[in-house]
Amino acid sequence: MGELTGRVAAISGGLGDIGRAVALELAGRGASISVCDLLPVGASSGLGTAVRALGVPFHYAQTDVSDHADVSSWLADASSALGTPDLIIPNAAVVTITRLMNLTANQWRRELQINLDGAFHLSHEGARRLIAEGKPGWMVFVGSWVAHAPRPHIPAYCVSKAGLRMLMKLMALELAPHKIMVNEVAPGNVDGGLSAKVFAERPELREGHIQMVPIKRLQEPAEIALQVAHLCSPTNTQMTGSTLLVDGGLSLLTDAPHDDV
């Protein structure tokens, strides 16, 4: 029996590197897992097999997190299949690599719709269901160190993560009386997820990203998942409204290169 046995996790962007790592970490601790992503159901088979091998149920729904009705439908199906999710992980995100003055209105809109609106839809709908049932919960937003450190090549992403951080704080304040703990994990440079896609497009950036981190290595998605699990622990009955900065010391520097992602 794991510490999360009997819990149900809802993870958006669950087929990405970080989402997958979070799903496996929480499943390994006993939580039932529901994930959503934009990919068709067949794309979830590998993760589903891995989760079920850990002895817990798995549920998947193809979902556009920018659509509130779609998110609501996913959570309704997850609740029917597994029980009401009480571990809410808004994780879905995209990134556009371009300078602010080259960013199109459509790129701006879509990025905020997924990264910020999507986080609102999941956290709002997830909290609403918990409140209706009088259940406690744990909500962990997957944010970023760029919420407080402007990076000129990813302007919309920075703005979306800054907005997500304030959403987390407001959610924490409003949901505290309902015993729903709300926090953020803010990674730095990750060897996976959106960064991996950037490195694939611009491989020369990888070594630069390693060198700009004081500990001189990138994070693995599994390391982020450990911190998410920490904040989802039933022993966490006090920490809410906080950002757990896990960036290898990046935020200690004020002279880091600004031509990164």
Q: Which long-range contacts (CB under 8 A, 24 or more apart) does 159-163 make?
A: 159/112, 160/93, 160/111, 160/112, 160/115, 160/116, 161/115, 161/186, 163/112, 163/116
Domain ranges of the chain: 8-245
Question: Which pLDDT score is estimated for 254?
Answer: 58
Task: List the chain pLDDT tens, one digit each, 261 residues.
Answer: 799 999 999 999 999 999 999 999 999 999 999 999 999 999 999 999 999 999 999 999 999 999 999 999 999 999 999 999 999 999 999 999 999 999 999 999 999 999 999 999 999 999 999 999 999 999 999 999 999 999 999 999 999 999 999 999 999 999 999 999 999 999 999 998 777 777 777 778 888 888 989 999 999 999 999 999 999 999 999 999 999 999 999 989 855 444 444
8-245 CATH, one of 3.40.50.720, 3.30.1340.30, 3.40.50.2300, 3.40.920.10:
3.40.50.720
CA distance 170 to 187: 21
Q: What is the pTM of this model?
A: 0.95
DSSP 194-230: HHHHHHHH-THHHHHHHHHSTTSSPBPHHHHHHHHHH
The secondary structure of residue 118, as a DSSP letter, is H
Question: Which pLDDT score is estimated for 260?
Answer: 47
Question: Which pLDDT score is estimated for 261?
Answer: 42
Q: Which two tokens stand for residue 193?
A: 């997820």
The answer to whether 125 and 145 are in contact (CB under 8 A) is: no
CA distance 226 to 219: 12
Question: Which pLDDT score is estimated for 117?
Answer: 98
The secondary structure of residue 35, as a DSSP letter, is E
Q: Which two tokens stand for residue 93?
A: 């995100």
Per DSSP bridges, beta strands 87-89 and 58-62 are unpaired
